[in-house]
Amino acid sequence: MKNLAKQKKQQAARIRKASKIDAAQQKAKAKAEAKALKRARKLQVQRSKEAQKQAGIAAKRAKKLKETKMKLAKEERAASKELAKTESELAKATNQAQRVAAKRR
């Protein structure tokens, strides 16, 4: 009888010990999962910030390129006007020279 009671106590102690081990394992597993999740979130935020930074840099480059393009187009229009003006003046001078030459004949 004593032996049976002793065995039951030992069995109960083993069960308690096993349940404590299970609880500790579950707790460690949950802690590890939480840590991994936190790390993943941190990496995601870091990637997001990096992507935003890269997008900002690309936007600045695009803006600068657009401004340069507009400046070049403006300069091209001005040069074209100047060329047209010079050609017009040359044509006028040529016509006037022809008229003067025609009068002398």
Residue 2 has pLDDT above 80, yes or no: no
Tell me the mean pLDDT in the region 15-35. Answer: 91
Mean pLDDT of the chain: 92
Tell me the mean pLDDT in the region 10-15. Answer: 86
Half-sphere exposure of 33 (CA within 13 A, CB side): 6
pLDDT of 49 reads 95
Between CA 103 and CA 59 the distance in angstroms is 66
Q: To the nearest 10°, report the CA torsion of 79, 85, 90, 92.
A: 170
SS3 state of residue 105 = coil
Q: Return the structure tokens found at 86.
A: 């010079």
pLDDT of 74 reads 97
Tell me the mean pLDDT in the region 15-42. Answer: 92
pLDDT of 103 reads 83
Residue 37 has pLDDT above 80, yes or no: yes
